[in-house]
Amino acid sequence: MIRVNITSVFVDDQAKALAFYTEKLGFIKKTDEPAGSARWLTVVSPADPDGVELLLEPDGHPAAGPFKKALVDDGIPFTQFAVDDVHAEVERLKALGVEFTQEATDLGPVVTAVFDDTCGNLIQLAAMK
């Protein structure tokens, strides 16, 4: 059976990304190993520390920068994270200085919001009703 083990988000600075994803979003560091000129750096949700890891992957490949910029310019989130209550999470994150490009929005069966991860990505929060 195939299952998701690791997924990634391209970041422009791994140290800055680790600080944002742990201190603001609340993830915990899982793996931090040297990998050439970068690091194999993953975080996990404290709600599921043995679950899917998020790789904070350097965006050094020539295609990564234009890809990320095109998504941000069009307002498209790179990925989505689940939360129990989007409204409460938006307020918690705003209090920590996180900037949102889309406030909590009721879209019928789901509520979403979009924030800037400070590492070159827009990230969507979502909660099914």
Quick one: tokens of 14? Answer: 């791994």
pLDDT of residue 27: 98
Q: Minimal CA–CA distance to 18: which of 95, 114, 91, 118?
A: 118
Give the integer Cα–Cα distance in Å for 14 and 57: 7
pLDDT of residue 120: 97
pTM above 0.85, yes or no: yes
End-to-end CA distance of the chain: 29
Query: Which whole number is the average pLDDT over 5-12?
Result: 98
pLDDT of residue 95: 98
Whole-angstrom CA distances from 73 to 77, 102, 122, 129 are 10, 14, 10, 29
Domains, the chain, in order of start with CATH, read 6-128 (3.10.180.10)
pLDDT of residue 30: 98
Categorize the per-residue pLDDT at 111 as very low, low, confident or very high, splitting at 50, 70 and 90: very high
Q: What is the pLDDT of residues 48-83, one digit of tens each?
A: 999 999 999 999 999 999 999 999 999 999 999 999
3-state secondary structure (DSSP) of residue 119: coil
